[in-house]
Amino acid sequence: MRDLYEVLGVAKDASASDIKKAYHRLAKQYHPDLNPGDKAAEEKFKEAANAYQVLSDEEQRARYDRFGPDALRAGGGGPGGTGFNSVEDIFSAFGDMFGDFFGGRTSGGRRTARGADLRVDLKLSFAEAVWGTNKELKVARDVPCGTCQGSGARAGTKPETCSSCNGRGQVVHSQGFFMVQSVCPRCRGEGKVVREACVECNGRRVQSETSTLAVTVPPGVDDGQTLRLAGKGEVAPGGGTPGHLYVVLHVVGDERFQRDGEDILTEVPVSFVKAALGGEVEVPVLDDNCEGTTTVEIRPGTQPGDHVVRKGAGVPRIGKTGRGDQVVRWKVEIPTKLSGKANELLRELAVELGEDVKGKKGGLFSRLKK
């Protein structure tokens, strides 16, 4: 095992204050709450705690200085002299110290559990996703039992202090060279036990309730995005922090619009006559927080696939100012049936343009159709 002074990064003649400061620094750096899922950081965290446990105690430090690592092995501690078997044991031993800069733990060293997170789905129209909206959701979740007020005890009684740990939620036992603290098996770390369970919740301390929650959907959200409502999930039995409610958004498609990032794509049909001669076309829009249409001019000689851009008429940018654009693409439509007069006029046009039109249903039309 590594030298304990080396673990903390201090000299062998370091003062108790220097040792404590070094441990604080390492505890912050490798704390599990700041490094979720990082096993290497967790091992560093436990290593620092083990070193601090020995060097912060005058008697144990003196024995370590005299005998070195052999003192730990001779003492019968865990593998390599490790005094803490889990991160939870460290929280139990040094809970007050961590509470100074992490919070979420009781003054007795107990770590309070957080309530479970919940997930619900919410459907939005395309326009609601663009402009934002306010919705109401019915959510079934656990809330504190109204009969026992969340204590789990039968009416007229209350939880008793655990006699095994005297309410600390932790028990201490000797493991060779170390004094190891672990979660009390009788009260499961809560410090209290219930003699007679509440008849309403059967001692669970919570009951299911369906409530209506207001949800504000910001402008510019997209399909599949998630909103987090902090503290709106399940309550935590024992007074811990409630979980969160995650609202998954599902945007219903709209045949008039397609989304491309912050831009809105709109395909608008126009007759081949208007595409050739120019004119005005009504285009669906999402302007001024409402659905409607606006008149857009189409230039003479417009070709299939040509487009115009309406600047700032797209999707609002989340967390930024401004909006994307609306891109209007012209879909030039070729008629499949013509009246006799229209056929005659087009044949005159074909002669004027020098087109070689043969038969009654070929020529210009068959070449233009997609």
Q: Which of 313, 122, 134 is nearest to 225 (CA)?
A: 122
Lowest mean pLDDT among 59-63, 91-95, 123-127, 212-216: 91-95
Mean pLDDT is highest, among 78-87, 164-173, 235-244, 319-328, for 319-328
Q: Specify the pLDDT at position 283.
A: 95
Asked whether the predicted pLDDT for residue 324 surpasses 90, the reply is yes
pLDDT level of residue 87 (50, 70, 90 thresholds): low
Collect contacts of 125-128 with beta carbons under 8 A, ≥24 apart. 125/251, 125/252, 125/254, 126/251, 126/252, 126/253, 126/254, 126/257, 126/259, 126/286, 127/254, 127/286, 127/291, 128/217
pTM for the structure as a whole = 0.57
DSSP for 145-203, please give it.
-TTTTTS-BPTT--PEEPTTTTTSSEEEEEETTEEEEEE-TTTTTSSEE-SSB-TTTTT
Distances (CA, A) of 170 to 108, 111, 127, 281: 9, 10, 55, 76
Whether 265 and 258 have beta carbons less than 8 Å apart is answered as yes
Q: Specify the pLDDT at position 125.
A: 95
Residues 6+ apart with CB under 8 A from 15: none
315 or 188: which carries more pLDDT confidence?
315
Q: What is the pLDDT of residues 212-257, one digit of tens each?
A: 999 999 999 999 999 999 989 888 776 678 889 999 999 999 999 9
- If one counts every other C-beta atom within 10 angstroms of the C-beta of residue 250, the result is 12
The whole-chain average pLDDT of the chain stands at 82
Arithmetic mean of pLDDT, 191-197? 88
Q: Specify the pLDDT at position 100.
A: 39
Asked whether the predicted pLDDT for residue 149 surpasses 70, the reply is yes
Q: Specify the pLDDT at position 105.
A: 44
Q: Specify the pLDDT at position 179.
A: 63
Q: Give dist(CA 25, CA 7) in Å, integer.
A: 12
Asked whether the predicted pLDDT for residue 132 surpasses 90, the reply is yes
Arithmetic mean of pLDDT, 97-111? 44
Question: What is the SS3 assignment for 143?
Answer: strand
Q: Specify the pLDDT at position 80.
A: 38
Q: Specify the pLDDT at position 73.
A: 56
Q: Give dist(CA 248, CA 262) in Å, integer.
A: 20
Lowest mean pLDDT among 82-86, 206-210, 251-255: 82-86
pLDDT level of residue 81 (50, 70, 90 thresholds): very low
Q: What is the pLDDT of residues 161-188, one digit of tens each?
A: 998 888 888 887 766 555 677 888 888 8
Query: Which residues sit opposite 181 in a β-bridge?
Result: 172
Arithmetic mean of pLDDT, 288-305? 89
Arithmetic mean of pLDDT, 31-50? 83
Q: Give dist(CA 312, CA 262) in Å, integer.
A: 10
With tokens 């079934």, the residue in question is 140
